[in-house]
Amino acid sequence: MRFCRARSVLLLALVTALVAVAPAVASEQHPTLSEMEAEIMCPVCHEPLEMSDSAAAKRIEAYIAVRIEAGDTKSEIKRKLVAQFGPQILANAPDRAAWTLPLLGAGVALVVLGLAAWRWRRRGDPPAEPLDPELDARVDEALARYDA
């Protein structure tokens, strides 16, 4: 019974992880301009595009809109912008870190949770300590009085 419960909890965790990853994959394949504006910096004022009103920011937004219409993925658009402006154009860490750190954290959490559950299950009840012989005799006498 315990094995079945552990397997169902593991299956639930796996399904939850897969459901959480699906929107990220969709965002990579079909980015929106508003998503990209938050992830790209203006090279002039060094603010995210969504907060910048500079002419350079407007040109970059127009370029991103054209690339989205052309069917480019988020990574392709970022790669082209980095080639033109350098890595400082990106507002956040590289995509590899954005994917690996949460997955690594979830993996570590699952391992720690599994080890804790394994230790908790193995712990069981502590062994019973034998009674002092004198105390045992007194308990037997008291019980004999109530039985009579």
Q: Average of pLDDT values for 53-78?
A: 93
Mean pLDDT taken over the chain: 81
In a domain, 48, yes or no: yes
What pLDDT does residue 6 have? 64
In a domain, 80, yes or no: yes
Phi, psi (deg, nearest 5) at residue 41: -95, 150
In a domain, 3, yes or no: no
In a domain, 127, yes or no: no
In a domain, 50, yes or no: yes
DSSP annotation of 45 reads T
Rounded to a whole number of angstroms, the CA Rg of the chain reads 31
- Kindly state the percentage of the chain with pLDDT values over 90: 36
Q: Which of 133, 73, 1, 32 is nearest to 141 (CA)?
A: 133
Domain count for the chain: 1
Gap between the Cα atoms of 18 and 110, Å rounded: 15
Instruction: State if pTM tops 0.85.
Output: no
- Given a cut of 90, is residue 70 above it in pLDDT? yes
In a domain, 11, yes or no: no
In a domain, 58, yes or no: yes
Gap between the Cα atoms of 49 and 65, Å rounded: 13
**pLDDT tens-digit series, residues 21-59:** 545 445 577 888 888 998 999 999 989 999 989 999 999
What pLDDT does residue 125 have? 65
Instruction: Determine the structural domain holding residue 39 and report its residue range.
Output: 31-108
In a domain, 23, yes or no: no
- By CB atoms closer than 10 A (0-12, 13-18, 19+), residue 105 is exposed
Which CATH number characterizes residue 95's domain?
A: 1.10.8.640
